[in-house]
Structure 1
Amino acid sequence: MITGIIMASGFSKRMNKDKLTLDFGGVSIIEMVIKAIKESNIDEIILVYRDEKIKEIGIKNKVKTVYNDRAELGQSESIKFGINASNIETDGFMFFVGDQPFLDTSIINKLIDVFKKENTDIVAPIYKDKRGNPIIFSSKLKDQLLRIEGDDGGKSIIGNIYDEVKFVHFDNEIARLDIDTWDEYMKWRRN
């Protein structure tokens, strides 16, 4: 069983407004991400939110929502809330960022396939030559994930076992794109 955890409780500091609810061709950016995940082979989806508008989008899309009342402490808190809300039978946690609207279902499925077939604790995508999201961590790393602090996410865990990480290469470079600034939004939004 793979649990998808969407980290959607950030403060959009570089955007200066809630980027996840911005229109992206008739739906919000976060809905683009939810749609790609729902169409994939993920077994469970958890949306970790701070803003009520994000919760409403999650409910509308029939995904489990979990409130992050510690969002100011960084991305690590979204990771912890997502893990703690996951099914105890979960074999892997697949972490998604909420601002990656071009994420493709086939990428998600390929990462899941590799995780299930390979005997590895971490599976991560590389788009052209850049690492990106989503990343799968085995449930064997649960305790380590629950100990991380701040905004580092799982980078320190990846760094500790880098040689054991299974990287999966994709040519679809745009799938890696996340929307951080107003200029990026204006450049990439769909009319």
Structure 2
Amino acid sequence: MKLALILLAAGDSRRFNGNKLLHEFNGKPMYQSIIEEVEKLPDDLFHRKVAVTQYQEIMDCMMDRGYEVVENRESSLGISHSIHLALQALENEETDYCFAVCDQPYLKAATIEGLVKGWQDSGKGIGCLCNMGALGNPAIFSRSYLKELLSLEGDVGGKRIIRKHIVDLYLHEVADGLELVDIDVRKNTQT
């Protein structure tokens, strides 16, 4: 089965007091961190790369780097809306889905690759990163979970499905918990 990468970059950054994805982090806009890590991965790891965003600067950058871009004009509907938009863009594709967020600037390419390969070898339907019991992104869902992903509503993401199907979950332990940190408030952006 093929695996599509879906980058979610449409959030409103309410707690951040400004657009966190465009906020400078280590000398570049925060969202670029994951793009640079993905570019270090083997070309055949993901057969398609989709980005969902509401921001023109991110759309332009992602298109320049080979992503299919889906515009989210209703980000107030929550992360579930971004998930639905990405799945609609992939609806005619026999693929599994790897969802990643663009506010985890410490995430490394080797961790993403380890998650994908470990999940593929596990035979499980879902996979995600974890550190000492805490679940984190990216998260992978086999196509068999498409209906449940499409049933998500509001600002609810894949963790609801993960918790419901623990027996079908592959956990990829990350040694450095910093990789799982997503930046939600400005005080966390000091490097």
Change (3 A) 1:50 1:24: same
Partner Cα distance (1:96, 1:163) in 2: 22
Q: Does 1:166 align with 2:145?
A: no
Which residue does 1:29 correspond to in 2?
30
Q: Does 1:177 align with 2:181?
A: yes
Which structure dedicates a bigger proportion of its chain to strand? 2
Per-residue CA shift, 1:45-73, capped at 9, x if unaligned? 11100121221221232321110122111
Q: 1:47 aligns with which of 44, 47, 51?
A: 51
| Contact 1:128 1:172 survives alignment (8 Å) | no
Shift of 1:90: 4.2
Partner Cα distance (1:159, 1:76) in 2: 16
* Aligned positions of 1:9-28 closer than 5 A: 9-28=10-29
Partner Cα distance (1:184, 1:115) in 2: 30
Q: TM-score, normalised by structure 2?
A: 0.91
Shift of 1:152: 1.4
| Contact 2:49 2:66 survives alignment (8 Å) | no
Partner Cα distance (1:47, 1:38) in 2: 14
Say what the alpha-carbon RMSD is for the aligned residues.
Answer: 1.5
One-letter amino acid matched to 1:116: Q
Q: 1:141 aligns with which of 141, 145, 152?
A: 145
Which residue does 1:117 correspond to in 2?
121
Partner Cα distance (1:148, 1:177) in 2: 23
Per-residue CA shift, 1:12-53, capped at 9, x if unaligned? 001111111112223211111111123222222111001212
| Contact 1:74 1:150 survives alignment (8 Å) | yes
Partner Cα distance (2:20, 2:145) in 1: 31
Aligned-residue sequence identity (percent) comes to 27
Q: Does 1:80 align with 2:84?
A: yes
Per-residue CA shift, 1:76-121, capped at 9, x if unaligned? 0111111111274443211111101111111111111122212211
Partner Cα distance (2:160, 2:134) in 1: 17
